[in-house]
Amino acid sequence: MQYTRDNMAQLLRSHDINPTHQRIEIAYALFSRQEHLSADQVMTTVNDRYAETSKATVYNTLNLFLEKGLIREVIVDPSKVFYDPNTRPHHHLFQVDSGRLTDIDARSVTIQGLPPLPEGMETEGIDLIVRIRRKTT
């Protein structure tokens, strides 16, 4: 399935988001390359040809998408957040030295022995991050 700007409008509407120019561009940036981008990377991607979207809008929009469950945030780098267009259950492989972040399908992984939750609590999500680096030897 191809990701087009038209698709994006559909997608946004289906998540109860008014599809504006900027929002479509930002969604397209994330979904068309199925990659983990930081706010900054989204910013430069969207403004590649000529400036059209402000920093404030990028942040507003990413947070809106987050709220509406269109994307997820991935917290692996203490200095910045990554945004992930893949909302199906999955885990992450983080290359510490290069900053590269890739997915691990959750279906192949089993996690057993987690303790019961405290009373009145529910799980919001489970993040599994495998940090790897180039061998030093």
Among 8-16, 22-30, 51-59, 129-137, which window interacts with a second copy (CB under 8 A)?
129-137
Q: If we measure between CA atoms, which residue out of 52, 31, 33, 30 comes closest to residue 42? A: 30
Q: Which strand ranges, in their side-by-side order, compose the sheet holding 72-77?
A: 37-38, 80-84, 72-77
Other CB atoms within 10 A of residue 61 CB: 22
Tell which one of 43, 68, 73, 99 touches a second copy (CB under 8 A). Answer: 73
Q: Which does 63 bind (CB under 5 to 8 A by kind): DNA, a second copy, none?
A: DNA
109 binds a second copy (CB under 8 A): yes
Rounded to whole angstroms, the Cα distance separating 71 from 110 reads 23
Query: Contact with a second copy (CB under 8 A): which of 5, 77, 87, 89?
Result: 77
Vertex 70: Cα angle to 130 and 45 (nearest 5): 80
Only segment of 6-14, 18-26, 52-60, 113-121 that touches a second copy (CB under 8 A): 113-121
Binding site for DNA (CB under 7 A): 17-18, 20-23, 38-40, 51-57, 59-61, 63, 78-81
Nearest to DNA of 79, 136 (CB atom) = 79
Q: List Cβ neighbours of 34 (8 Å cut-off, separation of 6 or more).
A: 85, 86
d(CA 19, CA 10): 8
Is 33 a binding residue for a second copy by CB under 8 A? The answer is no
67 binds a second copy (CB under 8 A): no
Instruction: Establish if 21 lies at the interface with a second copy (CB under 8 A).
Output: no
